[in-house]
Amino acid sequence: MSTTVVRITAALPGVLLAVSGVGWLTDPATAAEGLGMPLLDGIGRSTQIGDFGAFFLSGAGMAFIGAWTAQPAWLLAPALLLGSAACMRVFAFLAHGAPFATMFVAIELVMTGILMTSALLLSRAGRLSKS
């Protein structure tokens, strides 16, 4: 598989993360609703917009940097964020009685897989080019 295809594929989760992040900036009520929660009031609103906006925009930025520079480490960082989010959702289900968020867990795991596979392929391509 060509490095260009891998880099484009690696950027796809970044696009989804960026769209969500921009939603938290421009229309937080709709962004919150899309994640199955109301937009909170008071300091809770600040926390929601700040934390979710940072999560999505930082993840997007790291995915884009990794795709642009073909540096695998940049792709592993958003993979860690997304994989951790999926694990925490499962934990919320198992330990705290939250409904199992099948769709969200699946999306997070697919994006984690894309980022990790892209990182692996870019790492291999980098090692081959040095040989």
The residue-averaged pLDDT of 2-7 equals 94
Contact 55, 34 (CB under 8 A): no
Reported as a single tens digit per residue, the pLDDT across 11-33 is 999 999 999 999 999 999 999 99
Distance CA 3, CA 113 (A): 17
Per-residue pLDDT band at 126 (split at 50, 70, 90): confident
Distance CA 114, CA 31 (A): 24
Tally of residues, the chain: 131
Q: Is the dihedral of CA 15, 39, 106, 125 positive or negative?
A: positive
Reported as a single tens digit per residue, the pLDDT across 40-96 is 999 999 999 999 999 999 999 999 999 999 999 999 999 999 999 999 999 999 999
Contact 82, 108 (CB under 8 A): yes
Position 130 scores a pLDDT of 66
- Which residues, other chains included, contact 116 with Cβ-Cβ below 8 Å and sequence gap of 6+? 75, 76, 79
